Amino acid sequence: MVLASEALNRNANASKKATERARAAGETRPAALYAAGAKAYLMDIWKTREISRVMLGDDGPPGYANVYREAGVKFMHGARGLTFGNPPLPNLTACAVTALVHAGALQIVEADGRGTATKIADYFTDLILRLANSEE
Protein backbone atom coordinates (compact mmCIF):
# COMPACT_ATOMS: atom_id res chain seq x y z
CA MET A 1 0.00 0.00 0.00
CA VAL A 2 2.87 2.37 0.80
CA LEU A 3 4.50 1.79 -2.60
CA ALA A 4 1.21 2.46 -4.36
CA SER A 5 0.63 5.68 -2.43
CA GLU A 6 4.19 6.81 -3.14
CA ALA A 7 3.73 6.11 -6.85
CA LEU A 8 0.47 8.09 -6.93
CA ASN A 9 2.15 11.02 -5.17
CA ARG A 10 5.08 10.85 -7.55
CA ASN A 11 2.76 10.85 -10.58
CA ALA A 12 0.82 13.83 -9.21
CA ASN A 13 4.01 15.77 -8.44
CA ALA A 14 5.34 15.16 -11.96
CA SER A 15 2.10 16.57 -13.37
CA LYS A 16 2.12 19.57 -11.05
CA LYS A 17 5.75 20.45 -11.79
CA ALA A 18 5.24 20.21 -15.56
CA THR A 19 2.20 22.47 -15.36
CA GLU A 20 4.17 24.97 -13.28
CA ARG A 21 7.07 24.89 -15.79
CA ALA A 22 4.68 25.50 -18.69
CA ARG A 23 3.06 28.40 -16.84
CA ALA A 24 6.48 29.88 -15.98
CA ALA A 25 7.42 29.62 -19.68
CA GLY A 26 4.44 31.83 -20.51
CA GLU A 27 1.74 29.29 -21.36
CA THR A 28 -1.69 30.58 -20.39
CA ARG A 29 -4.12 28.37 -22.32
CA PRO A 30 -5.86 26.05 -19.84
CA ALA A 31 -5.89 23.07 -22.23
CA ALA A 32 -2.17 23.42 -22.99
CA LEU A 33 -1.38 23.65 -19.27
CA TYR A 34 -3.49 20.56 -18.63
CA ALA A 35 -1.83 18.71 -21.53
CA ALA A 36 1.64 19.54 -20.17
CA GLY A 37 0.69 18.06 -16.81
CA ALA A 38 -1.01 15.08 -18.42
CA LYS A 39 2.06 14.24 -20.50
CA ALA A 40 4.31 14.40 -17.44
CA TYR A 41 1.86 12.20 -15.56
CA LEU A 42 1.81 9.65 -18.37
CA MET A 43 5.60 9.59 -18.67
CA ASP A 44 5.87 9.12 -14.91
CA ILE A 45 3.43 6.22 -15.22
CA TRP A 46 5.98 4.74 -17.65
CA LYS A 47 8.75 5.17 -15.06
CA THR A 48 6.62 3.45 -12.40
CA ARG A 49 5.01 1.00 -14.84
CA GLU A 50 5.49 -2.12 -12.73
CA ILE A 51 3.47 -0.78 -9.82
CA SER A 52 1.25 1.36 -12.07
CA ARG A 53 0.24 -1.75 -14.03
CA VAL A 54 -1.00 -3.31 -10.78
CA MET A 55 -2.73 -0.11 -9.68
CA LEU A 56 -4.48 0.40 -13.00
CA GLY A 57 -5.49 -3.26 -13.18
CA ASP A 58 -7.52 -3.34 -9.97
CA ASP A 59 -5.04 -5.77 -8.42
CA GLY A 60 -3.90 -3.45 -5.66
CA PRO A 61 -3.58 -4.38 -2.01
CA PRO A 62 -6.62 -4.43 0.29
CA GLY A 63 -7.89 -0.90 0.84
CA TYR A 64 -6.11 0.42 -2.21
CA ALA A 65 -9.31 1.00 -4.19
CA ASN A 66 -10.20 3.89 -1.87
CA VAL A 67 -6.74 5.44 -2.21
CA TYR A 68 -6.91 5.15 -6.00
CA ARG A 69 -10.43 6.59 -6.11
CA GLU A 70 -9.32 9.61 -4.04
CA ALA A 71 -6.36 10.13 -6.36
CA GLY A 72 -8.72 10.04 -9.34
CA VAL A 73 -10.92 12.70 -7.77
CA LYS A 74 -7.87 14.92 -7.23
CA PHE A 75 -6.72 14.33 -10.81
CA MET A 76 -10.15 15.23 -12.17
CA HIS A 77 -10.14 18.35 -10.00
CA GLY A 78 -7.12 19.50 -12.00
CA ALA A 79 -9.26 19.43 -15.14
CA ARG A 80 -12.15 21.41 -13.68
CA GLY A 81 -12.66 24.64 -15.47
CA LEU A 82 -11.77 23.14 -18.85
CA THR A 83 -14.74 23.47 -21.16
CA PHE A 84 -14.75 22.33 -24.76
CA GLY A 85 -17.95 22.97 -26.68
CA ASN A 86 -21.25 23.34 -24.88
CA PRO A 87 -21.45 20.42 -22.46
CA PRO A 88 -24.94 19.80 -21.07
CA LEU A 89 -23.56 19.39 -17.55
CA PRO A 90 -20.71 21.05 -15.68
CA ASN A 91 -17.38 19.22 -15.59
CA LEU A 92 -18.13 16.92 -18.53
CA THR A 93 -14.97 18.14 -20.22
CA ALA A 94 -13.03 17.21 -17.07
CA CYS A 95 -14.54 13.72 -17.24
CA ALA A 96 -13.62 13.39 -20.93
CA VAL A 97 -9.99 14.50 -20.63
CA THR A 98 -9.48 12.46 -17.47
CA ALA A 99 -10.79 9.40 -19.33
CA LEU A 100 -8.34 10.08 -22.18
CA VAL A 101 -5.43 10.28 -19.76
CA HIS A 102 -6.55 7.08 -18.03
CA ALA A 103 -6.75 5.33 -21.41
CA GLY A 104 -3.25 6.56 -22.19
CA ALA A 105 -1.97 5.24 -18.87
CA LEU A 106 -3.44 1.81 -19.59
CA GLN A 107 -1.54 1.74 -22.88
CA ILE A 108 1.71 3.13 -21.51
CA VAL A 109 2.13 0.45 -18.85
CA GLU A 110 2.17 -2.09 -21.69
CA ALA A 111 4.56 -0.14 -23.95
CA ASP A 112 7.72 -1.97 -25.02
CA GLY A 113 10.05 1.00 -24.60
CA ARG A 114 10.38 4.65 -23.65
CA GLY A 115 10.09 5.76 -27.28
CA THR A 116 6.75 4.01 -27.65
CA ALA A 117 5.61 5.39 -24.28
CA THR A 118 6.47 8.91 -25.46
CA LYS A 119 4.50 8.40 -28.68
CA ILE A 120 1.52 7.17 -26.67
CA ALA A 121 1.69 10.15 -24.30
CA ASP A 122 1.99 12.53 -27.26
CA TYR A 123 -0.98 10.88 -28.98
CA PHE A 124 -3.30 11.21 -25.99
CA THR A 125 -2.23 14.75 -25.11
CA ASP A 126 -2.63 15.71 -28.77
CA LEU A 127 -6.21 14.42 -28.64
CA ILE A 128 -6.87 16.73 -25.69
CA LEU A 129 -5.38 19.69 -27.55
CA ARG A 130 -7.39 18.86 -30.69
CA LEU A 131 -10.58 18.86 -28.65
CA ALA A 132 -9.65 22.23 -27.21
CA ASN A 133 -8.61 23.67 -30.57
CA SER A 134 -11.85 22.61 -32.22
CA GLU A 135 -13.37 25.52 -30.31
CA GLU A 136 -11.24 28.17 -32.00
Residue 65: give its domain's CATH number: 1.10.357
Which parts of 25-113 fold into alpha helices (H)?
30-47, 49-56, 64-77, 92-108
Residue 70: per-residue pLDDT:
76
Total domains in the chain come to: 1
Q: What is the pLDDT of residues 57-112, one digit of tens each?
A: 766 667 777 777 777 777 777 787 788 888 888 888 888 999 999 999 999 999 99
Angstrom distance (rounded) from CA 11 to CA 65: 17
Domain that holds residue 9: 2-133
Long-range contacts of 79-83 (CB under 8 A, 24+ apart): 79/34, 81/30, 82/30, 82/31, 82/34, 82/132
